[in-house]
């Protein structure tokens, strides 16, 4: 092929180009009309409400959120790993089974993955009623599908020689897989799994709006009534909790790295995940004692005529164009911003200083960002893209930091001693070896951004996401089914595209 092939670091930096059109639009629309409210919000961040009644209420809400997050996280990791193994061609080949079920499973997982937690929650609420299990399942379903995809991709990307050697030596398939794959996959599980816990905490927060309890209701009400001091009390509490969880995980990693062998450490982690899930489930039962049992309350299935009619009524072209534009711009910002920011000054101080910035970006929910940006701007798609991009940029920043921490600094030092500038040393010595992995995470994040377009749809009033919320609030089930189908198709297309790009640009 004569097609030019950009190098991996360029691929990871190029998406930042999305900042250009977005910033141009945003700067062109700037005005000073909302500065007072903006300043109030910023002042509230350093001066949150400390009213004891509020703090008590927030604290009990935080417990519900944490319990939901733990249960959903644990279930989604276990299910995701199992599904990921079933979707892996390599594992099926090890047993000499046909590989087509893996492909079918992999493609059908696009459906649960493409629907946002909030929408899953609303759908499950229809058939299960108001029960904590709804929130747990709403987190588990899309998360398990995402974990399955990551797990499968990592399995396929491993070097197969050890596995083949063991198999040819006559080892039974199960034992061979465990021996050959568990060291590398264990690291993936512990690092990626730890990161999913924080994501689960954010999703559990969001799911509080259904009346199951949890921080979501308080945060949303504070935002709706523009009570910024109360809003920040909740946000800081959430931030403290996620920092505490993160510290616990890091501490555990550091402790066990010295003391335990790899296999044993993995078993410990798995046991921890399962115990955390059960603790979360029991805790929910204690916190919400009168939630009763889950009862399946069937829902009439939409018929074909209704579906085609609903599909004919929707303005597909603008909906899809807006959604894709929003997703692509936001994904560009989210993927390109972290390496760009780190490249600005590769000094140790700047790299450490960036960490709280990423954490803050992750902490602030996109609807709040949209509202704050709108106060001094005009309602455009760019605002939505910027809000989504910044929020997910916080997530990508964290992932990039973890990737870079696993890279040895040998190459960077070699480049420095041979006279390269600090920036070039960082770019080619540290970032380049890690950028394929980072880009893979970027592709998964794009999935998440696509389904998160639901969240900013609220203010922008644009795209498939807003249409989905509008149809849900009209209880127009035919349209909801058709729209979810559209989301799934776009997700599948994105998966196919990213697979193609990866084989063409990053491998071979």
Minimum distance of another protein from residue 261's CB (angstroms): 16
Q: Are 389 and 334 in contact (CB under 8 A)?
A: yes
Question: What are the tokens at 37?
Answer: 């409210």
Nearer to another protein, 331 or 371 (CB): 371
Minimum distance of another protein from residue 374's CB (angstroms): 5
Nearer to another protein, 107 or 378 (CB): 378
Nearer to another protein, 23 or 275 (CB): 275
* Residues 63, 139: Cα–Cα separation, whole Å: 17
Nearer to another protein, 156 or 470 (CB): 470
Spell out the residues 6+ positions from residue 165 whose beta carbon is closer than 8 angstroms to its own.
none
Minimum distance of another protein from residue 241's CB (angstroms): 18
Minimum distance of another protein from residue 72's CB (angstroms): 13
* Residues 116, 182: Cα–Cα separation, whole Å: 31
Nearer to another protein, 245 or 472 (CB): 472
**Where does this chain bind another protein (CB under 8 A)?**
31, 33-34, 36-37, 49, 51, 53-54, 57, 121-122, 125-126, 128-131, 209-211, 216-218, 220-227, 230, 274-275, 278, 281-282, 284-285, 289-294, 297, 367, 371, 374-380, 458-462, 466, 469-470, 472-476
Minimum distance of another protein from residue 31's CB (angstroms): 6
CA triple 376-379-383, angle to 5 deg: 80
Beta-carbon count within 10 A of 216 CB: 26
Task: Characterize 317-352 residue by residue with b for buried, 16 or more Cβ atoms within 10 angstroms of its Cβ, and e for exposed.
Answer: eebbebbbbbbbbbbbbbbbbbbbbbbeebeeeeee
Q: Which of 147, 24, 31 is nearest to 83 (CA)?
A: 147
Q: Over 450-494, what HEC string results?
A: HHHHHHHHHHHCCHHHHHHHHHHHCCCHHHHHHHHHHHHHHHHHH
Nearer to another protein, 1 or 312 (CB): 312
Nearer to another protein, 93 or 126 (CB): 126
Cα separation values, 447 from 78, 85, 335, 451, Å: 21, 20, 12, 7
Nearer to another protein, 122 or 331 (CB): 122
Nearer to another protein, 129 or 436 (CB): 129
Minimum distance of another protein from residue 228's CB (angstroms): 10
Minimum distance of another protein from residue 81's CB (angstroms): 14
* Residues 132, 238: Cα–Cα separation, whole Å: 20
Nearer to another protein, 179 or 291 (CB): 291
Q: How many CA atoms does the CB half-sphere of 82 hold within 13 Å? A: 8
3-state secondary structure of 312: helix
Q: Which of 282, 67, 70, 80 is nearest to 197 (CA)?
A: 70
Minimum distance of another protein from residue 435's CB (angstroms): 38
Nearer to another protein, 162 or 378 (CB): 378
Minimum distance of another protein from residue 53's CB (angstroms): 6
Nearer to another protein, 135 or 400 (CB): 135
Minimum distance of another protein from residue 2's CB (angstroms): 43
Minimum distance of another protein from residue 290's CB (angstroms): 4
* Residues 80, 112: Cα–Cα separation, whole Å: 12
Minimum distance of another protein from residue 7's CB (angstroms): 40
Place of tokens 């000073």: 32
Query: What crossing angle do the helices spanning 161-168 and 173-206 adopt, rounded to 10°?
Result: 140
Minimum distance of another protein from residue 317's CB (angstroms): 13
Angular region, 448: left φ>0, alpha ψ -120 to 50, beta rest: alpha
Query: What DSSP state is assigned to residue 377?
Result: S
Nearer to another protein, 394 or 460 (CB): 460
Query: What crossing angle do the helices spanning 132-157 and 173-206 adopt, rounded to 10°?
Result: 140
Q: Are 482 and 311 in contact (CB under 8 A)?
A: yes
């Amino acid at each position: 092929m004569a097609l030019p092939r950009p190098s991996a670091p360029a691929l990871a930096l190029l998406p930042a180009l999305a900042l250009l059109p977005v910033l141009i639009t945003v700067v062109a629309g700037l005005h000073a009309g909302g500065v007072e409210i903006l300043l109030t919000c910023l002042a509230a961040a350093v001066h949150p409400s400390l009213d004891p009644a509020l703090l008590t209420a927030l604290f009990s809400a935080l417990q519900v959120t944490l319990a939901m997050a733990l249960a959903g996280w644990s279930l989604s990791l276990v299910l995701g790993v199992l599904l990921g193994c079933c979707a892996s061609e390599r594992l099926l080949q090890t047993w000499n089974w046909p590989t087509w079920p893996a492909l079918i499973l992999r493609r059908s997982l696009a459906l649960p993955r493409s629907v946002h937690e909030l929408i899953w929650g609303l759908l499950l609420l229809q058939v299960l009623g108001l029960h904590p299990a709804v929130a747990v399942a709403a987190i588990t379903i899309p998360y398990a599908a995402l974990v399955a995809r990551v797990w499968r991709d990592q399995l396929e990307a491993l070097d197969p020689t050890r596995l083949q050697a063991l198999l040819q030596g006559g080892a039974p398939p199960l034992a061979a897989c465990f021996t050959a794959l568990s060291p590398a996959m264990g690291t993936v599980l512990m690092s990626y799994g730890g990161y999913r816990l924080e994501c689960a905490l954010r999703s559990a927060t969001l799911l509080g709006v259904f009346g199951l309890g949890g921080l979501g209701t308080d945060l949303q009400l504070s935002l709706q009534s523009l009570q910024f001091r109360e809003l920040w009390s909740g946000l800081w509490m959430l931030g403290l909790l996620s920092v505490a969880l993160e510290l616990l995980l890091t501490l555990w990693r550091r402790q066990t790295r010295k003391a335990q062998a790899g296999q044993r450490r993995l078993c410990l982690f798995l046991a921890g995940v399962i115990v955390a899930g059960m603790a979360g489930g029991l805790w929910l039962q204690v916190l919400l004692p009168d939630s009763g049992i889950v009862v399946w309350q069937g829902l009439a299935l939409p018929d074909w005529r209704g579906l085609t009619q609903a599909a004919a009524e929707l303005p597909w072209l603008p909906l899809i164009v807006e959604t894709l534009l929003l997703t692509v711009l936001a994904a560009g910002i989210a993927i390109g911003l972290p390496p760009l920011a780190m490249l600005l000054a590769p000094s140790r101080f700047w790299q450490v200083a960036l960490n709280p910035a990423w954490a803050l970006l992750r902490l602030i929910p996109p609807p709040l960002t949209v509202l704050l940006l709108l106060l001094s701007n005009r309602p455009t798609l760019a605002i939505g893209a910027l809000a989504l991009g910044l929020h997910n940029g916080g997530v990508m920043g964290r992932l990039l930091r973890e990737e870079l921490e696993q890279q040895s600094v040998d190459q960077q030092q070699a480049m420095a001693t041979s006279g390269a500038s600090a920036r070039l040393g960082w770019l080619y010595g540290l970032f380049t070896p890690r950028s394929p992995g980072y880009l893979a995470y970027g592709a998964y994040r794009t999935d998440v951004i696509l389904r998160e377009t639901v969240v900013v749809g609220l203010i922008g009033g644009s795209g498939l996401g807003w249409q989905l919320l509008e149809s849900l609030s009209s209880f127009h089930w035919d349209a909801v089914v058709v729209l979810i189908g559209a989301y799934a198709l776009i997700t599948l297309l994105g998966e196919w595209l990213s697979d193609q790009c990866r084989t063409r640009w990053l491998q071979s």
